[in-house]
Chains A and B, each alone.
Chain A
């Protein structure tokens, strides 16, 4: 049992999990930059890659609203 506990701790230390949403397939680099920037601003950005034009956010409601308002403004 002690060994199992130790293994579990070992694994938890070596791996972190965060629930949320992967944002991908942006129409333009400008869209990606704006939305990922907004995600960072409101504190929901967990990971991003400018090269892949993808990011991971812990929440999506505000980002969805932001995207809609951007599309309307075009």
Chain B
């Protein structure tokens, strides 16, 4: 008989997916199944934490430009 495993399907761009895989590599506590370049299934109770961690990571790498000074 096949198995039906409860989880949350994540659909994202490969860059985001590689961050998730990296986050999981420490304790293997997020990913249930790595499906393909843009899909993976993660544990239902870890979605919130994963989003938090992703946000932290994006903050580190995404630096908006300094606002332009009023020159008029």
Chain A residues packing against B (C-beta within 8 Å): 3, 6-8, 10-11, 14-27, 31-32, 35, 46-47, 49, 52, 54, 56-57, 60, 63-64, 67, 71
Is the CB of B1 closer than 8 A to any CB of chain A? Answer: yes
What secondary structure prevails in chain B residues at the interface with A? Answer: strand
Q: How far is the CB of A38 from chain B (nearest CB, A)?
A: 12
Chain B residues, CB < 8 A from A57: 4
B9, A56: Cβ atoms closer than 8 Å: yes
- Closest B residue, CB atoms, query A48: B35
Q: How many residues in B have their beta carbons less than 8 Å from beta carbons of A?
A: 29
Q: What 1/0 mask marks residues of chain B from 1 to 28 whose CB sits below 8 Å from any chain A CB?
A: 1111111111111001000000000000
Chain B residues, CB < 8 A from A71: 1
Bound Cα distance A63, B16 (Å):
31
A25, B3: Cβ atoms closer than 8 Å: yes
Chain A residues, CB < 8 A from B47: 17
Query: What are 18 inter-chain pairs, A to B, with CB distance below 8 A?
Result: A7-B55, A10-B62, A14-B12, A15-B16, A15-B54, A16-B11, A17-B9, A17-B11, A20-B9, A21-B7, A22-B41, A23-B4, A24-B5, A26-B2, A31-B2, A47-B11, A49-B36, A52-B35
